[in-house]
Structure 1
Amino acid sequence: MMMNEMGELAPAADKVRHKRLDTRTRDLINQAVASVPTLGLQRAAEFLATMNVPAEVAVRVLVYPNRRRAN
């Protein structure tokens, strides 16, 4: 654990979430997630791969939707 500015214990660095700066990837992921109910997980994953979204990001957002970043 690390200390934050107020001297309190902060979560480990790998668990800190940062606001997304890559709006293109955000929009592609939103499209893919929205398409899952109609097209299925496989097609959504193929779409993200075609659009060069990193595989680890695609897996995280499609398989573990609660791990998606806000915005």
Structure 2
Amino acid sequence: MIEDVQVRQTVKARVVRTDLRTRDLVNQAVASIPTLGMQRAAEFLAAMNVPAEIAVRTLVYPHRRRRG
């Protein structure tokens, strides 16, 4: 029973990204941090209309990024 609940929770956690444009923009911004810095990466995402919630989560809390 407990194993079934854990499997269902794991499956729910694996959400497939459907917004490929945002994914690509975030990946580009994250890759630019070492050379351009966090501020410029954030400015890039804002200029590209990436929602602030996503920009903050991906730039400031990289362990919260989705994979996929």
TM-score band, normalised by shorter chain: 0.7 to 0.9
Paired AA for residue 69 in structure 1: R
Which position in structure 2 is the counterpart of 1:33?
A: 30
Structure 1, residues 19-46: CA drift from partner, whole Å, max 9, x if none?
Answer: 1101000000000000000000000000
Paired AA for residue 24 in structure 2: D
Q: CA–CA distance in 2 between the matches of 1:53 and 1:18?
A: 19
Matches within 5 A, 1:7-22: 8=5, 10-11=8-9, 16-22=13-19
- TM-score, normalization: structure 2? 0.82
- TM-score, normalization: structure 1? 0.78
Give the structure with the higher percent helix.
2
Count of residue pairs brought into register by the alignment: 62
Paired AA for residue 26 in structure 2: I
Q: Could you tell me which runs of 5 or more consecutive residues in structure 1 were left unpaired when the two chains were aligned.
A: 1-5
Q: CA–CA distance in 1 between the matches of 2:46 and 2:29?
A: 11
**Identity rate of aligned residues, in percent?**
69
Which position in structure 2 is the counterpart of 1:23?
A: 20
Give the structure with the higher percent strand.
1
